[in-house]
Each structure stands twice: as C-alpha cells, then as structure tokens.
Amino acid sequence: MKIRIFIVDDHAVLRSGLRLLINGQPDMEVVGEAGEAPSALEAVQNLLPDIILMDLAMNGHMHIDTISELRKCCPSGYILVLTMHTESGYVRGSLAAGASGYVVKSAADTELLRAIRTIAQGKTFVDWTVGKGVGQDLRRASTKSLTDKAPGLLGQLSPREREIFGLVAQGFTNQQIADQLGISIKSVETYRARVMEKLGLRSRADLVQFALSCGVLTPGNPLH
C-alpha cells in the first residue's frame, strides 16, 4: 500500500515539483494539495492522508497553529514540516504543535523522501544537516542540564514508562499507544504524566529535545 501524501504550500511551482518527485516513488502518491491553510483543513478531513507535507510560512503568515488544527482534522495522519526556516524555535514549536518531522527546503530530495518514509512508520525525523547551528542551539537549551543526568533520570523509569517515553518521542498519540500496548487511554495518560514528572519535562517538544540531548534520538536519524 502506498503512502498517501497531501501537500500544503502557497507556491504552485514547488507543489508541482514535489508532486513529480513523490509520484515518481513506487511507494508514495500525492492524493491532494492546497495553497492555503483553510482549504487544507477541509481537504484533509475528507481525504485522511497518511502524511501532510506542509510549509510553515504561507501567504505572509507563520502557520505553526495550523499543525495542531490539521492533527484534529486528520488524527491518523502525520505532519512533516518542509520549510526554509532553520531556527530552533520553529523546530520546537512545530514538534510541540504535533509535527512528526521537520526538513528544510534546501535539503536533498533523498533526505525528504527518507523523512517521509520514516514518519510514515510512526517515528520522528528532524533534519538539521543544513541548518548546522540548530542542533547546537537545542543542545544549549534548558534540557542541557538534563543531559548529564540522563542515565540516572532514565533509570528512574519503569520498563513500561520507558516504553511510553519512546513511543511519545516517536510521535504516537495516546490512542495509538493504547492500541499498540493493549492498555486503556487513561493508563497511557497516567504513565505519560509520570514520565514527564520524573524527567522534569512539560511538553512533547521537551521530551523530544531530551531524547536528542541524551542520544536516544539524533538529528537526521529516526528514533528506534
């Protein structure tokens, strides 16, 4: 079965190029596209694509909030941000809003295709190979103090909590985690709250950043 992709970008030429690239892959197909957020929200609700490939800056506005709106319209789909912005604040904001991947437009076509295949498997993919300062910036952020303590902090987690930690960092929703582990959503929420408390984190973006800091997840590579 092919990975069904919906493209959201305000540049028609770019959408055309992406469509040609993606449709040229044996395991992918573009099922729709939009040049603005409102039309994208309506379309994905009907099409329910596997991947929503979207830009952050469209028609003169930043659309980080659109990520969470798209997740609500298409909870089964994953969002891959494709943008020219390499600032760490946009990376963290996108992850916090629910994106599963972040790739800069100057990256190679092969990197974009790898990102699509990675997040289609339910993993997180962040490409910082072009914006070299971003990874360093994240490592200088507040969770740097956790890096030195990472082994001890992770050691405080029970086997189930470590499992939940990995799945949340990979971008799985509470419902998906519950289905995968065969437990209730309430149990997932409880475990997740314990993980966040023990690690001293407040959001999924912090959790992913912690995974990066302690080496569980590395820029440009999926979380296994």
pLDDT tens-digit map of 166-210 = 777 766 778 888 888 899 989 999 999 998 888 888 777 677 777
CATH number at residue 84: 3.40.50.2300
CB-based contact 125:100 (threshold 8 Å): yes
Same domain? 90 vs 183: no
Domain membership flag for residue 165: yes
Domain membership flag for residue 221: no
Same domain? 173 vs 152: yes
CB-based contact 168:195 (threshold 8 Å): yes
Per-residue HEC secondary structure of 135-157 comes to HHHHHCCCCHHHHCCHHHHHHCC
Cα gap 141→9, rounded to integer Å: 30
Same domain? 96 vs 163: no
Same domain? 103 vs 7: yes
Domain membership flag for residue 222: no
Same domain? 127 vs 156: no
- Which residues does 186 contact at the CB level (< 8 Å), separation at least 6? none
Domain membership flag for residue 218: no
What's the domain range around 190? 144-213
Domain membership flag for residue 60: yes
Joined together, the tokens standing for residue 121 give: 């498997």
Provide the whole-model pTM: 0.65
Domain membership flag for residue 220: no
Mean pLDDT by 10 residues, the chain (224 residues): 94 93 96 92 93 86 84 90 80 80 86 92 71 46 45 77 80 81 91 87 74 58 44
Same domain? 60 vs 34: yes
